[in-house]
Chains A and B, each alone.
Chain A
Amino acid sequence: MRSRFRYYRPTSLSEALDFLALHGTDTAIVAGGTDLMISARSGDLQCKYVLDVSRLNELRPVAMSDGLLAIGSAVTHAEIAAHPVTRDVAPVLAKAASCVGSTQIRNMGTIGGNIANASPAADTIPPLMVHNAKIVVKSASGERVEYLGDFVRGPYVTILKPGELITHVLLEPMMSGYRHSFQRIARRRALSIARMNVAALGLVDGNGVIQDLRLSVGSVTPRPCRMTVAEDVLTSNKPDKKVFWEAAEKVSHEMVRWSGIRPTTEYKKPAVEGLVYRALADLFLSEG
């Protein structure tokens, strides 16, 4: 049976926060609904109210502020994929957003929803991780800022408390000279949840040595993280295939260390190595 609830659409952020202050424990927040509608359809969604924040202008900016890129939580994947600012300073995120679901889903789904849902397969999370993203959370009583890696505690679990709302994310912009790559594996070419995904940023200095390398892999660890063991292998080295494979093996090792050997490991181990290799090759060996 479908879930039953009352639907509210506040007209301002303060109204939304006041509502949450009162009803936070009984409320599910909807920003695009691409996950919530599934649980409402199956009846798994159990709440008294659904608060729709998707049309709050305060949650919809995309702008540079104090040297950081601020993206409102109700900005859709389609907007992130197309926006000149995201494409300029966070192209790996724009690319990832363009791979989410389908046109219809990208038109509805939002970055805030993607983060709050905290699926291990979320396409925007690895790019946000390589941008050292921080999540800005507001409530009627104040504001806090958390790194994404701390904000998500496990599959579908965050530290968002009743009464709180993600208002925006803050990203370090990609500096000039950096290269970027987003890669994903899925069971088909559209409308498919990522089997795993990788975001990478890399900078090579004048001597052809990797100066900075940031790598995050989705669906292989219970919480979003940067693959520092692999980053360390790459940094201060010249990009070459041997090093790429070495880094890729570090990632799969890390995956097994976190999650243990599971029935899916037979696939996921070579696949994550392959995908990391693909991202690194794309980063450093492809033209443009």
Chain B
Amino acid sequence: MSLGVVRSQAIGTSIERRGTRARLRGDTHFAADLNIAGVVTAVVLRSDRPHALIREFDPAAAKSTPGYLGVFTWRDIPGRNRFGIINKDQELLVERKVRCVGDPVALVVAETEEAAQRALSKIRVVYEDLPAVFDPEEALTDAAPRIHEKGNLLGRRVVRRGSPEEALKHSDVVVERTYTTSFVEHAYLEPDAGLAYIDHNDILVVHASTQNPHYDQKDVADLLGLPEDRVRIIQEATGGGFGSKLDLNVQGFVGLAAFLVQRPVRMVYSREEAFLATAKRHPLKIRYKSGANRDGRLTAVDVTIIGDTGAYASYGLAVTSRAAVHATGPYEVPNVSVEAIFAYTNNPMAGAMRGFGVPQMAFAHESQMDLLAAELGLSPLEIRRRNALRIGSQTATGQYLTASVGIGATLDAVASRWEEARVEKQSTRAFVRRGVGIASMIYGIGNTGMQNPSTAQVELGRDGFVTLYSGAADIGQGSSTVLVQIAAEALGLKPDAIRSVIADTAHTTSAGATSASRQTYISGNAVLDAATKLHNVILTEAAMMLKADRGDLELRDGSVFLRSDPGKGVSFKDIAERASRTGLPLKWQGYFDPDTTPLDPETGQGRPYATYAFATHVAEVEVDSLSGEVRVLKVTAAHDVGRAINPLNVQGQIYSGVAMGLGLALMEEFHPGVTESLKDYHIATAADMPAVIPIIVEDPEPTGPFGAKGVGEPALIPTAPAIANAVADALSARVYNLPMNLERVLKAGISVRSAEKEKSCQGY
């Protein structure tokens, strides 16, 4: 179904993000702000052991605490004590043994938070420690302690194409290095929070800070043994998630507590608890071997990826697949061997985090590209140009790219800055060296090789107003605004004229998770599908009412006008009233599932994504070889987003991606058992931010809503490798481990420092 004529400027316009003013005024209610009469508080008793059997559990002393309402264990869970987004390997409250520090042992409910904490402190748990394992390679050995009954292997993904061994043997140059990355905390502004109660229809209502209300609904219903329609999840305004709020964090606890004590229950994680108990970015160890010929073209890659998923899977399998599929970067590589192996350990759970393993992979493949360029005597920009995917290219999984392959355009977009920066980079201070780095990325939009549909409804009310219903959680990235812009464009309306109902399982249908940079492309298409249907119904009705040819009609500002006689028209309200008399439905459903195929389990061949985003960043840095300090001066960030529905929002994503990428590059490292909170975990502050020059490249995606793809995760991916390449340029030495902290940078730069020292002292 195609759209008729509309007159709207909703697409490509930087309208204000929905909810911005309320947030600026402090009017927005986040889950922790919710308060209702009679609400009580739940807290979780968590394990302080990485791997141990629970030998004794004695809550007797807690019961005398004033305000005490209950201590609950797994035995009190009425349904199935298993959850997890992909693998159901997590227990809401552990039954027999704890598998990591922070594992939930008991749920304590009391009148106040203080009483709950007091009661919790009186519970006596006797553990029998088990041998623990903290290294994924060690976890896969026969001697390793078994963390889950099925063993310590989470999963494995292979991508194989051509004859990589042969091709590497005959390549003019071969470079092999090993890269590592660390656990990273999401550090969203708003720690997890939720409130649950049972409403007058006997429905368990959970208000939560979440990225995935419809998944929450299923798992909470399962835990409590309730039918899904007895559980309602309402996403409250959410202060960031970055992947961690895809997991069931507080939702199951408040749901269980409300169900058991029959009182409204709230739960708010402290920052310390968010650090202790929520997922982290997977640390990866990547052995990467690449070959190229004198013409600068890649011949083959051979990559082994070891991932540590910690005690539970969470999104680990998705990261396994995505890391493997993206290992070759945005380049044509005819011969490919990639093996990703992820293991359970007794570390904290690693899960989804902005990019699903691709930021780690990009650090490796982009470092390799610069190393190859140096071997071949090519500039880093040139080697990328020679190998960049283009229309007609085949990816590592054998997928032919037929449209919207903007990697070359992003390289072109940063080229002038790249050249200028290299000329300008003379240092002004002794021992402080300037460097310029470039890095590119590819990112598949949506889930990897699996169905991940979205649905939406668009309704014309009797009052003539249009309402959009979408289950897509807007966690700050702006999907609610973008989806409204898409509906507005399809209906010839101003975005402001559209009401929206978002992420409430009672009133919206599933849009899938807010993850994988998928909401603009996938939910955008579902909204467009629904709006197009409504558009056509409106046209048909208007044609009848105006006794006109459909082709002569135009939708504009809530009315349908005759193009041949612009004075003549009929309003949406008149149409709605007529339709309601005749019984014509005016709420239409849209559906979209991207065109993918599952990956072959042996070779990884297939069509994992319907479309890909591309980007290139140029980073300019200053490295102090005296101290190991790195200052990022400027990041020029070109992103092919297909079409920017809301350019300002795209720019916002790019700024935030650079901030997060800078942290990943230079300072973010979570050490299990050591790192407690923001007091010992460093994320970039405003003072650390470079100048960011966002460049929006639009190579429209034919299957995207008005050509759009996505930018949420891509924004972050090239930053860290661009900074790594810039640091390597500055020091003529490379850091292979993220973050490039003071210690690593100083060590890498010790020889340029010694040389400068020698030189400067000779003058005397």
Which A residues are within 8 Å of any B CB, using their own CB? 1, 38, 102, 185, 187-192, 195, 240-242, 245, 266-267, 270-271, 274-275, 277-278, 281
CA distance A239 to B333 in the complex (A): 57
Q: Which of these, A187, A270, A277, A281, contacts B682 with CB under 8 Å? A: A187
Q: Which of these, B631, B667, B679, B742, contacts A271 with CB under 8 Å? A: B742
Chain A residues whose C-beta falls within 8 Å of the C-beta of B627 in the assembled complex = 185, 271, 274-275, 278
Chain A residues whose C-beta falls within 8 Å of the C-beta of B117 in the assembled complex = 1
Chain B residues whose C-beta falls within 8 Å of the C-beta of A241 in the assembled complex = 757, 760-761, 763-764
A189–chain B nearest beta-carbon distance, Å: 4
- Let me know if A271 and B746 touch, CB within 8 A: yes
15 A-B pairs with CB atoms under 8 Å apart are: A185-B627, A185-B628, A185-B742, A187-B667, A187-B742, A188-B667, A188-B685, A189-B685, A241-B761, A266-B747, A267-B743, A267-B746, A270-B750, A274-B746, A274-B753
- Let me know if B742 and A267 touch, CB within 8 A: yes
- Let me know if B761 and A242 touch, CB within 8 A: yes
- Let me know if A270 and B746 touch, CB within 8 A: yes
Q: A188-B682, A189-B688 are in contact. Are A245 and B757 (CB under 8 A)?
A: yes
Chain A residues whose C-beta falls within 8 Å of the C-beta of B742 in the assembled complex = 185, 187, 195, 267, 271
B603 within 8 A of A: no
CA distance A1 to B682 in the complex (A): 24
CA distance A1 to B679 in the complex (A): 17
Chain B residues whose C-beta falls within 8 Å of the C-beta of A271 in the assembled complex = 626-628, 742, 746
Q: Which of A38, A187, A189, A278 has the most CB of B within 10 A?
A: A187
CA distance A270 to B752 in the complex (A): 13
B331 within 8 A of A: no
B126 within 8 A of A: no
- Let me know if B747 and A1 touch, CB within 8 A: no
Q: A241-B760, A266-B743 are in contact. Are A188 and B121 (CB under 8 A)?
A: no
CA distance A195 to B746 in the complex (A): 13
- Let me know if A190 and B688 touch, CB within 8 A: yes
- A267 closest partner in B (C-beta): B743
Chain A residues whose C-beta falls within 8 Å of the C-beta of B679 in the assembled complex = 38
- Let me know if A1 and B118 touch, CB within 8 A: yes
CA distance A65 to B19 in the complex (A): 57
Q: A1-B117, A267-B747 are in contact. Are A190 and B629 (CB under 8 A)?
A: no
- Let me know if A188 and B687 touch, CB within 8 A: yes
Chain B residues whose C-beta falls within 8 Å of the C-beta of A277 in the assembled complex = 431, 626
B452 within 8 A of A: no
Q: Which of these, B685, B743, B746, B747, contacts A191 with CB under 8 Å? A: B685
B625 within 8 A of A: yes
Chain A residues whose C-beta falls within 8 Å of the C-beta of B763 in the assembled complex = 241
B22 within 8 A of A: no
- Let me know if A267 and B686 touch, CB within 8 A: no
Chain B residues whose C-beta falls within 8 Å of the C-beta of A266 in the assembled complex = 743, 747
- A275 closest partner in B (C-beta): B627
Q: Which of these, A38, A191, A195, A275, contacts B626 with CB under 8 Å? A: A275
CA distance A69 to B496 in the complex (A): 62
- Let me know if B628 and A190 touch, CB within 8 A: no
Chain B residues whose C-beta falls within 8 Å of the C-beta of A188 in the assembled complex = 666-667, 682, 684-685, 687-688
Complex interface bits, B396-434 against A, C-beta within 8 A gives 1, otherwise 0: 000000000000000000000000000000000011000
B741 within 8 A of A: yes
- Let me know if A190 and B431 touch, CB within 8 A: no
B671–chain A nearest beta-carbon distance, Å: 13
- Let me know if A189 and B682 touch, CB within 8 A: no
B9–chain A nearest beta-carbon distance, Å: 41
Chain B residues whose C-beta falls within 8 Å of the C-beta of A102 in the assembled complex = 685
- Let me know if A274 and B764 touch, CB within 8 A: no
- Let me know if A187 and B741 touch, CB within 8 A: yes
- Let me know if B431 and A274 touch, CB within 8 A: yes
- Let me know if A185 and B764 touch, CB within 8 A: no
- Let me know if B625 and A190 touch, CB within 8 A: no
CA distance A251 to B624 in the complex (A): 20
Chain A residues whose C-beta falls within 8 Å of the C-beta of B624 in the assembled complex = 274, 278
Chain A residues whose C-beta falls within 8 Å of the C-beta of B688 in the assembled complex = 188-190
- B663 closest partner in A (C-beta): A188
- Let me know if A1 and B741 touch, CB within 8 A: no
Chain B residues whose C-beta falls within 8 Å of the C-beta of A1 in the assembled complex = 114, 117-118, 121
- Let me know if A267 and B687 touch, CB within 8 A: no
CA distance A277 to B430 in the complex (A): 11
Q: Which of A38, A190, A270, A275 has the most CB of B within 10 A?
A: A270
Q: Which of B627, B628, B688 has the most CB of A within 10 A?
A: B627
Within 8 A of A (CB), among B214-273: none
Chain B residues whose C-beta falls within 8 Å of the C-beta of A242 in the assembled complex = 761, 764
Chain B residues whose C-beta falls within 8 Å of the C-beta of A278 in the assembled complex = 431, 624, 626-627
Chain A residues whose C-beta falls within 8 Å of the C-beta of B761 in the assembled complex = 241-242, 245
CA distance A161 to B294 in the complex (A): 74
- A273 closest partner in B (C-beta): B626
Chain B residues whose C-beta falls within 8 Å of the C-beta of A240 in the assembled complex = 764
CA distance A270 to B686 in the complex (A): 29
CA distance A189 to B760 in the complex (A): 28
- B669 closest partner in A (C-beta): A187
Q: Which of A192, A274, A278 has the most CB of B within 10 A?
A: A274
Chain A residues whose C-beta falls within 8 Å of the C-beta of B629 in the assembled complex = 185
CA distance A216 to B114 in the complex (A): 45
Chain B residues whose C-beta falls within 8 Å of the C-beta of A190 in the assembled complex = 685-688
Chain B residues whose C-beta falls within 8 Å of the C-beta of A191 in the assembled complex = 685
B689–chain A nearest beta-carbon distance, Å: 9
**Apart from A38-B679, A267-B628: 11 A-B pairs, beta carbons within 8 A:** A185-B629, A185-B742, A188-B667, A188-B684, A189-B685, A241-B757, A241-B763, A266-B743, A271-B628, A271-B742, A278-B626
A238–chain B nearest beta-carbon distance, Å: 9
- A274 closest partner in B (C-beta): B626
Complex interface bits, B681-724 against A, C-beta within 8 A gives 1, otherwise 0: 01011111000000000000000000000000000000000000
Chain A residues whose C-beta falls within 8 Å of the C-beta of B757 in the assembled complex = 241, 245
- Let me know if B626 and A189 touch, CB within 8 A: no
User: Which 9 A-B residue pairs are closest in the complex by CB-CB distance?
Assistant: A274-B626, A190-B687, A189-B687, A267-B743, A185-B627, A190-B685, A242-B761, A187-B682, A240-B764
Complex interface bits, B623-648 against A, C-beta within 8 A gives 1, otherwise 0: 01111110100000000000000000
B268–chain A nearest beta-carbon distance, Å: 14
B152–chain A nearest beta-carbon distance, Å: 29
Q: Which of these, A189, A245, A267, contacts B631 with CB under 8 Å? A: A189
Q: Which of A1, A189, A275 has the most CB of B within 10 A?
A: A189
Chain A residues whose C-beta falls within 8 Å of the C-beta of B686 in the assembled complex = 190
A187–chain B nearest beta-carbon distance, Å: 5
CA distance A271 to B763 in the complex (A): 24
Complex interface bits, B19-63 against A, C-beta within 8 A gives 1, otherwise 0: 000000000000000000000000000000000000000000000
- A189 closest partner in B (C-beta): B687
CA distance A245 to B753 in the complex (A): 12
B272–chain A nearest beta-carbon distance, Å: 8
CA distance A1 to B273 in the complex (A): 12
B374–chain A nearest beta-carbon distance, Å: 26
Chain A residues whose C-beta falls within 8 Å of the C-beta of B430 in the assembled complex = 281
CA distance A185 to B628 in the complex (A): 9
Chain A residues whose C-beta falls within 8 Å of the C-beta of B760 in the assembled complex = 241
Within 8 A of A (CB), among B155-208: none
Chain A residues whose C-beta falls within 8 Å of the C-beta of B747 in the assembled complex = 266-267
CA distance A25 to B225 in the complex (A): 56
CA distance A68 to B667 in the complex (A): 42
Chain B residues whose C-beta falls within 8 Å of the C-beta of A245 in the assembled complex = 757, 761
A287–chain B nearest beta-carbon distance, Å: 12
- A281 closest partner in B (C-beta): B430
B621–chain A nearest beta-carbon distance, Å: 13
B727–chain A nearest beta-carbon distance, Å: 15
CA distance A220 to B746 in the complex (A): 17
Chain A residues whose C-beta falls within 8 Å of the C-beta of B431 in the assembled complex = 274, 277-278
CA distance A187 to B685 in the complex (A): 11
CA distance A185 to B121 in the complex (A): 40
Chain A residues whose C-beta falls within 8 Å of the C-beta of B667 in the assembled complex = 187-188
CA distance A191 to B679 in the complex (A): 9
